[in-house]
Amino acid sequence: MKRSFVKITISILFLMLNFAAGNICYSQSEVLQTGEELNYTVNYGFIEIGEVRIKLTGKKQSGKDVVYSSVCSMKSYKGIPFVDLNSEFESDMLFDGKNIYTLRFKATETKDEGKTIIEYTFHYDSNFVHVFKENLGNRELDKNISINQNVKFQDGLSLFFESRLNSFSSDNFMIPVFMNESETSVNYYFSSTKEKIYIPLFDKDMNSFRCNGVANFQGVFGLGGEFAGWFSDDDARVPLKSQLNVIIGSVTLELKSFKRTGWK
């Protein structure tokens, strides 16, 4: 009787461990879906001041790894005082089966007087980033900047996907970032406790995993400092809501619409 009980217990544990391991692998593979488009409203208090659109546009094989391409647009609405933002970002990111990191990043800021373009191309084997910067048609920077050996970096857009991949763990993370032509970082951790939040798009409370962190840099529109985010409780780990600090103070992003096969 005791031997049978032990055998049954071991069998159940074996099945549970295999299911858990398989689920983690399956889950991470579900995060990155080509064609996914996520649209967010940006709210300052009760005022909707703009929108953010993020799309995973392409996928190609690179040896054993996969390179994904993504685009993001950030725009403020016309007539909003003290807010004028019209920026587009592109990122080519290599996924090694567990983590993602930047190969190329391009940012374009459009204003009435013209465009500012910044492009980073990462040469990890040679330990440098080629930086190109053009302001209103004038080339301001075109040079190689040395980076630490054996360090893989994120940009502002690739962090969006890397954090989703990391959300399957409740560890603390210190993620290297290349921003403003220099090395910096972002620190964040995920809570393993599910948290219910109300999402107007679905008109109900939804289970989520919360992320808290600190961006040790100043990004677009003064983005930096402490932040919080809530990710869907499923294998897609879709960011549902976030709270960020920018030039004008604290803003909230909420999922407004989406295109993602099989996600409801």
At residue 116, the pLDDT reads: 95
Residues 102/154, Cβ–Cβ less than 8 Å? yes
| Rounded-to-integer distance, Cα 124 and Cα 102, Å | 10
Torsion angle, alpha carbons of 258, 207, 254, 199, to 10: 90
On whether both 99 and 128 belong to a single domain, the answer is yes
Q: Are 13 and 63 members of one domain?
A: no
pLDDT of residue 211: 94
Q: Does some domain include residue 6?
A: yes
| In a domain? residue 4 | yes
Q: Are residues 9 and 106 in the same domain?
A: no
CATH number (domain holding residue 140): 2.40.360
pLDDT greater than 70 at residue 2: no
Same domain, 88 and 26: no
Q: Are residues 180 and 216 in the same domain?
A: yes
Q: Is residue 264 part of a domain?
A: no
In a domain, 241, yes or no: yes
Structure tokens at 89: 């970002």
Q: Looking at the domain assignment, is residue 116 inside a domain?
A: yes
pLDDT on residue 84: 83
Taking residues 130-148, report their average pLDDT: 95
Closest CA to 164 of 234, 86, 79, 252: 234
Q: Determine, yes or no, domain membership for 36.
A: yes
Say whether pLDDT at 14 is over 60: no
Is there a domain that residue 147 lies in? yes
In a shared domain, residues 131 and 151 = yes
d(CA 157, CA 91): 7
Is the pLDDT score of 7 beyond 50?
no
Whether residue 67 is contained in a domain is answered as yes
Clarify whether residues 7 and 50 are in a common domain. no
| Whole-number pLDDT of residue 26 | 42
Q: Is the pLDDT of residue 72 over 70?
A: yes
Maximum alpha-carbon separation in the chain: 83
Residue 103 shares a structural domain with residue 129: yes
Question: In this structure, what token pair is assigned to residue 82?
Answer: 């003290």
Residue (of 51, 91, 95) closest to 73 by Cα position? 51
User: Which range among 76-85, 141-150, 233-242 shows the weakest confidence by mean pLDDT?
Assistant: 76-85
Pairing of strands 138-146, 128-135: antiparallel
In this structure, the answer to whether residues 84 and 13 fall within a common structural domain is no
CB-based contact 32:68 (threshold 8 Å) = yes
Same domain assignment for residues 21 and 150: no
* Average pLDDT in the chain: 87
How many independent structural domains does the chain possess? 2
- 53 and 2 share a domain? no
- Give the pLDDT confidence score for residue 27 in this predicted structure: 60
Residues 14 and 63 in one domain: no
pLDDT grade, residue 25 (50/70/90)?
very low
Q: Domain residues for 66?
A: 32-259
**Mind listing the pLDDT tens digit for each residue in 86-108?**
999 999 999 998 899 999 999 99
Nearest to 128 by CA among 107, 106, 149, 159: 149
